[in-house]
Chains A and B, each alone.
Chain A
Amino acid sequence: MPLTVTLWSIGALLGVGALGIALASNAAASRVVYGLCFGLSIILFVAAVVPRSAVALTASFPLGLPWIGAHFRLDVLSAFFLAIVNLGGAAASLYAIGYGAHEKHPSRILPFFPVFLAGMNLVILADDAFAFLVAWEFMSLSSWALVMAHHHDAENRRAGVVYLLMASFGTAALLMAFGLLAGSVGGYSFADIRDATHGPSWKSGLVLALVLLGAGSKAGLVPLHIWLPLAHPAAPSHVSALMSGVMTKVAIYGFIRIVFDLLGPPEFWWSMPPLTLGAITAMLGILSATIQSDLKKLLAYSTIENIGIVFVALGLALAFKANGMALPAGLAFTAALFHVFNHSLFKSLLFFGAGAVLNATGERDIERLGGLIHFMPRTAFLFLGACVAISALPPLNGFVSEWLVFQAILLSPSLPQWSLKLLVPAVGVALALSASLCAGCFVRAFGIAFLGRARSTAAKSAQETDLWSLSAMSGLLGLCLLAGLIPSYLIDTITPAAKAFVGGHMPTQGGIPWLSIVPIAESRSSYNGLLVFLFIVFSAFFAALIVRVLGSNASRRGPAWGCGYPDPGTAAQYTGSSFAQPIRRTLGNVAFVARDHLEMPPPGDTRPARFGVEIHDRVWDGVYTPILRAVDFCAGQLDRTHFLTIQGYLGLVFATLVALLLVIAIWP
């Protein structure tokens, strides 16, 4: 029954897409379309979370490959991810009811937005390789169309090229992976693949590599992440939120589905690529985020960081599962899914905030913002909440998942393999490093954009955003708070998935007094967000009370003190790049080559001194530039054959003929 409802509403989403084409010219179109999307997403969400028996529901249609058909399956994992996708979808639609009103060319967005939602849902439901890949590419294509919505900007066009190329690369990789899994007989349905006996370990290793390439390129795993910071900012903000907050999660779903489910029992070394890549991704992602001045680019890079964290957790789960340590495996797996959920919440919220700022000021560059906390206080508050959450600070939800990951790491000394013994601590340090850098990054983002004084007239004239957007954002923040204060319920909802995919799960959290969570045992570690939160609130009020009793309440406004220097005007504020400079200097060169140019005119010269920073992305320079060069070179060399004389062409044919005849002549 839930599956039927789900499929019907997905069909309805496609219908809404068609409606979008029809209504495109109409003024009220956007409200109608987004409203419908909101309703359908809510239905899908409910259908996903409504309690069911543990057995998976399946359905199949005579579509796709004729002799296989299209299979759909709703099991615990897909239900969890469906909930995430449609929660994000609902939030984005609600936000877009208000946000979409500012869109210049709705006709380039309305048809694709519902289709994009439908595509993501289909990926999660697909139960055979063909349907999976079709849905996967469907998702990529529709989001690509959305990225190309503002196509007059050359930067966006470039983003479109890079995005779709990387997406197709990923699809090709997944396609080969499925080819290996299905074997030459072509048993493409996941059921067949599960039943199939799995070949030698090199084969499964190859599949793992291909899946890392395929899912990783979609999720933004280093070094396949380059499209992400280009494409996510290019799209309209509610779409960026979906791409960053939700689509990357779909990619992670793909990874889990193939590696934990289809690929059979893991071997311990499978865990090493995800662990290593995850750690590297987290570090590079957050370091690059810290130096961005484009708010949406910054958010995109931070998405990359979070993806890295998730992959680390999944790698741990693999390692534990391979060694038959059910309980730790369950812990790591739960941590991964928990973080997936959290990130989908606060990343969407952050992009919504960025979109609100973009609408209010027309600026994405934080260097030209500032003081927005005065002009759009509600947005500022919600954005701040999301910043706290993503910086993994208690008592919000980001901390809980990161805490669980650390707990899982603390269990890993009992892993027998030496390689893992050496790898895991390093990964743990990388995680800690990225977490603290993340805090710095978001202090910078919020502090420069929302605090201080307005750096441009655009920022001065900003207005608070509309109620639709605010309600969407508040809803998300509320969920962040809930997930942070009483995580036990969420953990218990993940439990069945963990049981099904890694064989173990955390102890049931429901019964524990005071709603606190206990990963393994009370004596090892426990955390109670609610209590900590209440404590802080209580003691804050207590302190305020004491001060009120003992001290004076007198206060007056005056010019800023600033060590007695007269107010030097807004330009003298600390800028984003100067804020990032210490980190750029100390850690930056891990991720990129940053060179500072200081041009100091000689004494007596009245020119202003100039300071500039040029930043080279190591990944881009190291991996992609050579590839592009090679392709261009080959194209250039081969292109000469286009200008031969007819003799030249005849010569080619002649040579081929003679060569083949020689082969025939010497053939035994």
Chain B
Amino acid sequence: MALIYDLAAQSTQMILVLSLAPLLLGFTRKVKARLLRRRGPSIFQPYRDLLRLMRKEVVLADNASWLFRSAPYLIFAATWVAAALVPTFATGLMFSWSADLIVITALLGSVRFVLALAGMDVGTSFGGIGSSREMMFASLAEPAMITIVFVVALIAGSTQLSEIAFHMLSHVELRVSYGLALIGLVIVAIAENGRIPVDNPATHLELTMVHEAMVLEYSGRHLAVIELAAALKLLLYVSLIACIFAPWGLAPHGADLRAMTFGAAAYVAKVAVGGFLLAFFEISTAKMRVFRVPDFLGAALMLGLLGTLLRFVSGSF
């Protein structure tokens, strides 16, 4: 009985993230438009786009290989699993212990790996440019992420997200390293999702583009799956930040239905706030040149390192 209950909770979360992801995207666009005094598309536009893309036929480049065709599904699957492992409305879900924060980071790493390869498969110059830049950003973003993980893990004494969230709930305290980690994580999230100022998701024909350049050759259902994966990734980071730094309302392990629904509501609220902040940030900054990005990410890395050092030097656990 309990098993079924857990299973249900876990699958709810999977469905939840999957369904919420495009919404977040749409919501952010809407908010941006509004802040710019435009009406903007409806917040459900992303769903429509996805459906339309799926119905279109796929045009494969002549020398696209099996890798090119299987990549979208791999990317989607890995992102989805990663997103499903981040506590959204409840901690200690059934499979949460099968992967800790480091694993989640690494899963996103595999996603990037496959995506970069897919970008190079057809053999156009654009795909290559995208992949190479993506890997350069990653080479700084990933260690930054790891250092942030260090900070968090050293505070909470665990790399398990559920444990971390639980710890944050149980002793609420303000530490410098929190702040450092938060800022670092936000920077990493922006870079990883290719948002302004690192990349501009709204443009296509611009040589500074990164993510869009990699998926340039994709069309139809493949593109749809990839777009969905991208949306999932954005949601993942938002919920990650929410789970670590704003764990309020998370239902503890084996909580009853009410707590869970409450947690879900709280989660939606957090996501909305996140989306709003993101939109606000994006309209208030301009995109930076590609070779400035490393400094941007380097800042995140340094913040993470600083936090780690603080943790190492001050208390041990």
Contact = CB atoms under 8 A, between A and B. Distances in A.
In-complex A–B contact (CB below 8 Å) = yes
Interface of A: 370-371, 373-374, 377, 384, 388, 391-394, 399, 403, 406-407, 409-410, 412-414, 418, 421-422, 424-426, 428-429, 432-433, 435-437, 439-440, 443-444, 446-448, 451-453, 514, 516, 522-528, 531-532, 535-544, 547, 550-552, 554-563, 568, 570, 572-575, 578-583, 585-587
Interface in B67-82: 67, 73-74, 76-78, 80-81
A432 B53 CA distance: 38
Nearest to A371: B63
B123 A393 contact: no
Given A452-B121, A514-B98, A540-B77, 14 more contacts: A392-B109, A403-B103, A414-B317, A425-B308, A433-B139, A444-B135, A551-B220, A556-B60, A558-B59, A559-B61, A561-B216, A579-B128, A583-B135, A586-B294
B57 A554 contact: yes
A394 B103 contact: yes
Given A394-B107, A539-B80, A551-B221, A587 B312 contact: no
Contact of A558 (B60, B132, B309): B60
A374 B98 contact: no
Contact of B126 (A437, A452, A537, A563): A563
B138 interface: yes
Contacts of A583: 135-136, 139
Chain B: interface residue count, which band? 35 or more
A560 B146 contact: no
A642 B304 CA distance: 64
7 contacts: A443-B120, A444-B135, A516-B97, A543-B80, A555-B57, A570-B123, A575-B128
B46 to A, nearest CB: 15
Contacts, number: 296
Given A429-B301, A582-B133, A583-B136, A422 B312 contact: yes
B110 A540 contact: no
Contacts of B99: 394, 527-528, 531-532
A556 B132 contact: no
Q: Which of B74, B112, B113 has the largest count of A CB atoms less than 10 A from its CB?
A: B113
A567 B80 CA distance: 35
A88 to B, nearest CB: 26
Given A429-B147, A452-B122, A547-B54, A581 B117 contact: no
Nearest to A537: B77
Nearest to B110: A393
Contact of B142 (A384, A410, A435): A435
B80 A374 contact: no
A527 B135 contact: no
A96 B219 CA distance: 43
Interface in B101-138: 102-103, 106-107, 109-110, 112-113, 116-117, 120-129, 131-133, 135-136, 138
A579 B120 CA distance: 10
A417 B317 CA distance: 15
A432 B98 contact: no
Contact of A443 (B56, B66, B117, B219): B117
B270 interface: no
A373 B129 contact: no
The binding surface of chain B is classed by DSSP as helix
A563 B63 contact: no
B98 A526 contact: yes
B142 A436 contact: yes
Q: Which 8 A-B pairs have the closest CB atoms?
A: A574-B128, A452-B123, A551-B54, A440-B135, A554-B57, A432-B143, A447-B120, A436-B142
Contacts of A587: 139
Contacts of B128: 447, 452, 573-575, 578-579
Q: Which of A412, A421, A435, A536 has the largest count of B CB atoms less than 10 A from its CB?
A: A536
A574 B120 contact: yes
Contacts of B159: 407, 410, 524-525
A542 B73 CA distance: 9
A72 B225 CA distance: 60
A539 B121 CA distance: 24
Given A544-B73, A563-B205, A523 B126 contact: no
Contact of B67 (A370, A373, A393, A586): A373
A525 B133 CA distance: 33
A413 B177 CA distance: 15
A551 B224 contact: yes
B106 to A, nearest CB: 5
Contact of B106 (A394, A424, A433, A444): A394
Contacts of B224: 547, 551
A560 B62 contact: yes
Contacts of A373: 65-67, 121
A581 B153 CA distance: 35
A394 B110 contact: yes
A526 B162 CA distance: 12
Contacts of A556: 57-60
